[in-house]
Structure 1
Amino acid sequence: MEKRGKASQKCQNFIAIDIINANESLANSDALISNGNRFKLSFFSPSNSSRRYLGIMYNLPVMTVVWVANRNKPLNDLSGTFQISSDGNLVILDGQKEIVWSTNISSSVANSSAVLLDTGNLVLQDNSNGAYVWESFEHACDSWLEKMKIVPDTIRDEENVLTSWTSPDDPAPGSFTLTIEPFDVPQSFVRKDGNPCWRTGPWNGQKYTGIPNMSSQYRYGLQVVSDYPGTPYQTLMLANSSVLVYVFLNSSGSVEQKVWSDEKKRWDVTWSSTSNECDVYGKCGPFGSCDAQDRPICSCLRGFVPRSKDEWEAGNWTSGCTRKTRLQCEQNNFAGNQDEFLKVERVKLPDHFRLFRLSREECRDSCLIDCSCIAYAYPPGIGCLRWTQNLTDTQKFAYGGDDLHIRLAHSELADKKQYHIAIIVAAVTLGFIPVAVCAYFLLEYLLSYRGYSEESTLKQVNHGVKLEELPTFRFMILSNATENFSPVNKLGQGGFGLVYKGRLPNGVEIAVKRLARSSNQGVEEFMNEVEVISRLQHRNLVRLLGCCVESEEKMLVYEYMPNGSLDAYLFGSHTHKLLSWKTRKVIIEGICRGLLYLHQDSRLKIIHRDLKASNILLDEAFSPKISDFGMARIFGGKDDQANTTRVVGTFGYMPPEYASRGIFSEKLDVYSFGVLLLEIVSGKKNSSFDDQQLFLTAHAWKLWNEGKIVNLMDAGIWDSGMEDDIVRYANVGLLCVQEMAADRPNTSTVLSMLSSEIAELPRPKQPAFHGMRSSQSVESCTKRSSKGSVNDVSISIVEGR
């Protein structure tokens, strides 16, 4: 074809075209293909059906339809056509040239064309000014793609919601819808025939609080934006546009996140809204609380009893619970004790709340003086929420969630206080010595049961770690989650021990790091990692969910990273090609932001001391998360440098002042980051470069001086349009690995350089470890690291010279 977009009336050879003009049509056997080959638009028939529909689908071997035009009126044969009508509308015609579907635009556009964009959005555009007069993204079906907005427009009485198919074989609108509802604080709901069947909980500015494993960039960047005229909307913004991801409302009412696996040639479900029974809206009825890890899963909130004991015992909890003791404020009796609030921790806040612009103290006081107020909460990022209706859809979480304060009669709380007082008085009357003896044996029993030895307890005290502040998991829970630590679930191995993939009873996927009894890293590293990472929260740091210290077992439980560690992609024979340059830039800048948080933005100043590719984990969107804080050090006060006689880390990532003299500071991590940056750019390891006698840093320095630094780029993804980026990033990498610590930029400066906030970069000086490697030095290091990691390159302990 001579012209892009030109097609005959029969659309011969239409395969590579993404546009259709006013004088053209799309027949049954033709297709529009988006410019980047990601999506196509064509007629199709669902499985087990001969009916024909016009739909947008991913251009993949597996038919994945994300939008259907004529879902209410299918064609019965192969004679359908798609075109722009004389009045400027997109239409589908049957064999008799009757309109079966139209965009129904009232204002005619004389010169228009339809384009299938690489986002999956079909747009009808006015060719005179390029404006979109209609787009499929504003008429969603059952699939939610990047940049598509789910909107409840209360001003124009319009909305854009997901509506399920009737069945997997029938695209007709089904019973389920996914909406965002803006009342007071935004929440998302799945409704069946208008009735709620699933709810996210309120949006706090970063996440939906009713989804405990949701982070600020959860599932490829779910965002709620409140600056839309009249109402907020939610959208998906992907950090890595090369990954195929979409959200899908299936015909059973479950919301699923799907990610395409090139390796498996299939869609993997990475999250589902119905991972356990407690996800069903109002499972335990009014004033009931659902806990997926408990049996039975439903219980009444404290101060309440089942409304129908028979139904409750039969496992029918829908009638919920009723208050056991009448509130004092309802009795018009001012002589009695005032009502009080019971704090319930880590819950999904119930539905039907109202937002008030009050401080925390004002929130409590205003609720207390208003008898209709039965509960309040003050979740971070939201503020004062109050309830005057039944507390419905409350769920107990193992971690995450918010605190709920429930109004109870004074006697409901006083009874417990009086009980404790009576116990204490009785114990005192028995005498100090018997109590002390009993307490001693009780403590010994508890310590033995939970697996705490005297030595490990002392280590906890010395490290200032309070395990009770971190969620704990029973050994049996983790054993079941990992199928008894099956080799099939093994994710990796390091100096600490083995790491396993697991799935908790509530469906949450986890990574379990199990301390081996023969581990090179022992209790000290274990406690250090608990102390450091339990105090941190950043989207580029892996999240610690809890720990297990039971008998002789010591385990850390992390969020699961489905794409594993960065080294597997960089240094694999083929997988490095999966990391486009755009993805690598996202990874580099994400690591730097994580370091900046550790060095400057967190409450503690932390030096990681073992930053390397294997300690960078990748989530579903290939966003990086720094992991393994067993060797990290916390700086106190205004300190910014320290010495140690216990040098830890990995050969090749250590700066000279640390490896030889044990001096470490922020510049240690900067050096390691520089090495890692050069590895990400080149796709090659620093310590096992092609020329076995050179480090990658030396090779990069050589190319820099020869004016050939663009040759550093990974040949597998090279493109001439990357040259400016390569020069800048390599320049930054070489600045980070300069021999003198004082010459290296700090982390904030590095980030400014990467983001081009600093336009002119200084010329780097000669890097450390730039010369020839001797086999003797490597052998010597290996000998000295006999207590080191099993990967043969990590050094756990080296005495500083």
Structure 2
Amino acid sequence: MGNVCGGSGKNHVSGDFRPSSPGTMTSKTSSSVTTSNSTTGKLSSVGSSFMASSGSGGTSSGFDEGVGVYPEGQILEAPNLKTFTFIELRTATKNFRPDSVLGEGGFGRVYKGWVDEKMNPVKSGTGMVVAVKKLNSESMQGYEEWQSEINFLGRLSHPNLVKLLGYCWEDRELLLVYEFMAKGSLENHLFKKGCPPLTWELRLKIAIGAARGLAFLHASEKQVIYRDFKASNILLDANYNAKLSDFGLARLGPTGSNSHITTRVMGTYGYAAPEYVATGHLYVKSDVYGFGVVMLEMLSGQRALDPNRPNGQLSLVDWAKPYLADRRKLARLMDARFEGQYNSKQALQAAQLTLNCLAGEPRSRPSMKEVLEKLEQIESMKSRARDTRGSGSSRDRSHGRTTAHQRSSPRPDARRGSRTNGHATKAR
């Protein structure tokens, strides 16, 4: 299964609020849901036109007005994906043997596979490594999100988005093939026992990469709302370059004079913006809130939600906000595993940016373009002398290590899938 920090899954999954099948959970703002009643046949939208779901609950797709080239990326007119046969993927993964499993979730399992430069299966250990996601045939919600992955990732091309290479649909067998991300998920590196701590410099690099991916999604004429930004959906390649994965919940943004879209509430507790959870109103800047939560996790080394923390600290955002704007208090919040080895000026600027992203009202949050520009400014900052102990008094630092950063045992998985990998779609 490999190193736990590079792709063997994780033993904690944040709780989702997604229905396990269409229609089993409806927000007070939802109306009709358009779904497919069959998982057989061929996907008519792949390779030609795209199916757009109507109603408030389905996944929408299609970039009719948004085809074009953007900084470092582009939106394709049609997907450029290989259609694999089931036999090819069975061969590539050694017949889906257990020792090929990279992770597992409600969607199904993700397997390690090997292909050559023409995407033909080859002997394990040779050629190029890929990640093969195999749908649980009983999951209708998984089918919708499988289709959304193709609709979005099949046409979105950017260095900070995980590359979808192809798909398979034969009878009830639904599979997706992705590039392999050698370092697994950001969540594993932040919270998995046995993973060496990420340095301050690496965390800043990862934040910038993830921000570039989101900024690209928001820059298209038909803005793409990612809707599920969280640490487990940020994957890292061998050089710790961050790429966004799992577009199963992505939606096209508002059109015309509309400020938001109204949709069935789906996502992950702790990361979803408050206005979306309360009303079902989804803004482009709802993604910015999720980015702020992940930034807070990277600063503090603590999970967005953890029931094992002391009373009043279940929600990291609620508890940590007062620490973000004060240099002296910030030292108590910073991850103890830094051992003070971070640039205090950069950290304060990053904390203030995080606070802005977590603003209660969408209009008060910066755009992802502004977030990216600020992070790049922070990265380029030159300190007079490298900090060796961070900031704050020794008493503050001691407090941070003994109180703010007490680590608890990983919470039992709140969903069906108990083992997931960066490549695995989380349990639905």
User: Is the TM-score greater than 0.5?
Assistant: yes
CA RMSD, Structure 1 to Structure 2 (Å): 3.6
Larger Rg: 1
In 1, the alpha carbon distance for the partners of 2:165 and 2:42 equals: 23
Q: Deviations over 1:341-394 (max 9, x none)?
A: xxxxxxxxxxxxxxxxxxxxxxxxxxxxxxxxxxxxxxxxxxxxxxxxxxxxxx
Instruction: Give the aligned partner of residue 81 of structure 2.
Output: 470
Instruction: Give the aligned partner of residue 41 of structure 2.
Output: 452
Secondary structure, counterpart of 2:174 in structure 1: strand
> Which of 634, 649, 661 does residue 252 from structure 2 map onto?
634
Instruction: Give the aligned partner of residue 685 of structure 1.
Output: 303
Instruction: Give the aligned partner of residue 592 of structure 1.
Output: 211
In 2, the alpha carbon distance for the partners of 1:730 and 1:468 equals: 39
Instruction: Give the aligned partner of residue 199 of structure 2.
Output: 580
**1:639–1:531 CA distance, 2 compared to 1 (3 A):** farther
Alignment of 1:615 with 2:230, yes or no, is no
**1:509–1:728 CA distance, 2 compared to 1 (3 A):** same
Instruction: Give the aligned partner of residue 729 of structure 1.
Output: 350
In 2, the alpha carbon distance for the partners of 1:623 and 1:502 equals: 22
Instruction: Give the aligned partner of residue 176 of structure 2.
Output: 556
Contact 2:300/2:334 (CA < 8 Å) preserved in 1?
yes
In 2, the alpha carbon distance for the partners of 1:564 and 1:586 equals: 16
**Which deviates more from structure 2 when the two are superposed, residues 698-707 or residues 560-569?**
698-707
In 2, the alpha carbon distance for the partners of 1:758 and 1:513 equals: 35
Q: Return the structure number with greater helix share.
A: 2
> Which of 264, 275, 284 does residue 657 from structure 1 map onto?
275
**1:572–1:757 CA distance, 2 compared to 1 (3 A):** closer
Secondary structure, counterpart of 1:558 in structure 2: strand
Contact 1:539/1:625 (CA < 8 Å) preserved in 2?
yes
In 2, the alpha carbon distance for the partners of 1:639 and 1:474 equals: 44
TM superposition shift of 1:604: 4.1
Q: Return the structure number with greater strand share.
A: 1
**1:454–1:514 CA distance, 2 compared to 1 (3 A):** closer
TM superposition shift of 1:719: 2.6
Contact 2:50/2:151 (CA < 8 Å) preserved in 1?
no
TM superposition shift of 1:790: 3.8
Secondary structure, counterpart of 1:527 in structure 2: helix
**Partner amino acid for 2:100?**
N
**1:569–1:596 CA distance, 2 compared to 1 (3 A):** same
Alignment of 1:716 with 2:337, yes or no, is yes
Instruction: Give the aligned partner of residue 402 of structure 2.
Output: none
In 2, the alpha carbon distance for the partners of 1:717 and 1:675 equals: 19
TM-score (norm 2): 0.68
Secondary structure, counterpart of 1:502 in structure 2: strand
**Partner amino acid for 1:733?**
T
Instruction: Give the aligned partner of residue 34 of structure 2.
Output: none
Contact 1:648/1:795 (CA < 8 Å) preserved in 2?
no
Q: Deviations over 1:177-221 (max 9, x none)?
A: xxxxxxxxxxxxxxxxxxxxxxxxxxxxxxxxxxxxxxxxxxxxx
In 2, the alpha carbon distance for the partners of 1:512 and 1:486 equals: 12
TM superposition shift of 1:483: 1.1
Q: Deviations over 1:664-709 (max 9, x none)?
A: 1111110000000111121110101733532111232132366411
1:275-290 pair list within 5 angstroms: none
TM superposition shift of 1:456: 9.7
TM superposition shift of 1:479: 0.7
Secondary structure, counterpart of 1:514 in structure 2: strand
Q: RCO (CA 8 Å, sep 6+): is it higher in 1 or 2?
A: 2
Aligned length: 325
**Partner amino acid for 1:484?**
N
TM superposition shift of 1:730: 1.2
In 2, the alpha carbon distance for the partners of 1:513 and 1:639 equals: 39
**1:550–1:636 CA distance, 2 compared to 1 (3 A):** farther
TM superposition shift of 1:720: 5.2
Instruction: Give the aligned partner of residue 480 of structure 1.
Output: 91
Contact 2:106/2:426 (CA < 8 Å) preserved in 1?
no
In 1, the alpha carbon distance for the partners of 2:157 and 2:212 equals: 12
In 1, the alpha carbon distance for the partners of 2:233 and 2:5 equals: 23
> Which of 671, 675, 687 does residue 289 from structure 2 map onto?
671
In 2, the alpha carbon distance for the partners of 1:717 and 1:757 equals: 18
In 1, the alpha carbon distance for the partners of 2:378 and 2:230 equals: 26
TM-score (norm 1): 0.37
